[in-house]
Amino acid sequence: MVPYSAYDPFAWYYRRGWGDEFHVNARPVLDRHVFPRLPEHARILDLCCGSGDLTAFLIHRGYTVTGVDGSAEMLRYAREQAPAATLLHCDARSLDLPPEFDACLSTFDSMNHMLEIDELEHVFRNVYHALKPGGLFVFDLNMEKAFEDQWRGTWAAVEDDSVGLTRGAYDSYRRLGRADVTVFRKELGGMWSRADTSVYERCYTEDEAAGALRRAGFIHVQARDAGELGMKELAEGRMFFFATK
């Protein structure tokens, strides 16, 4: 399977703040509801690790981390941020790792990128196989409120050496979100380059996600509102799912 590479054209732009902003705000969830459930020096799989913001934080906390992402460009930045991590260029749908991990974390609505329920369940089965017995799986999803309230509109960011434009849309009938991203970057010599890409996310219900987890073999499946877990910014319309092998 060809790795998911939609983030390649603007990985440098993502690295400038998107991933870091999310994970700074998600730390209360990890500190209160994830880390206390892990053994000391746990082996963690950071699935869809992106530019390595969470990977680096986990390494700093003393965990042994393997990061996996389908974007070669995102992994290039992850290697800069987390040189002590093991980083694999692999699509989550093709993941095939031995059962050696105490936990798998997948953050910043990465699982929404699985556009069919069969794909989502297949990824869950891959994660199940990679976990030790009793291993913990934690991920977050954008729910319908997030798509309805936040994915419709246009946003721009202008800096001295870059311009980013994101145009979002949500098809409530198909339950499909689309973000068209255009970025301009000032290169050495003063010339400007342009890159365009489109990112899609599927809106799943709580029951759909929980059902796919159970069919993959997980137990103790729980869904919690991100705001109730302590996340402040970027929490609206977001849920965290917890499941055990």
Q: What is the DSSP string of 47-62?
A: ET-TTSHHHHHHHHTT
Query: What ranges do the domains of the chain cover?
Result: 8-143+204-244, 146-201
Q: Read off the pLDDT of residues 60-102 as tens digits, 9 standing for 90 and up.
A: 999 999 999 999 999 999 999 999 999 999 999 999 999 999 9
Residue 155 CB neighbour total at 10 angstroms: 11
Distance CA 243, CA 220 (A): 5
| CATH fold of the domain at 8-143+204-244 | Rossmann fold (3.40.50)
Distance CA 192, CA 186 (A): 4
Amino acid 2: pLDDT: 59
Amino acid 192: pLDDT: 93
- Closest to 53 in 3D by CA, of 92, 89, 26: 26
Stretch 186-212: mean pLDDT: 94
Where is average pLDDT lowest: 19-28, 49-58, 105-114?
Answer: 19-28
pLDDT at 18 over 80: no
Stretch 212-239: mean pLDDT: 96
Coil, strand or helix: which one is 140?
A: strand
Residues contacting 191, CB < 8 A, separation 6+? none
Amino acid 215: pLDDT: 98
Structure tokens at 14: 């993502």
Write down the CATH superfamily of domain 146-201: S-adenosyl-L-methionine-dependent methyltransferases (2.20.25.110)
Is residue 236 exposed (0-12), middle (13-18) or buried (19+ Cβ within 10 Å)?
middle
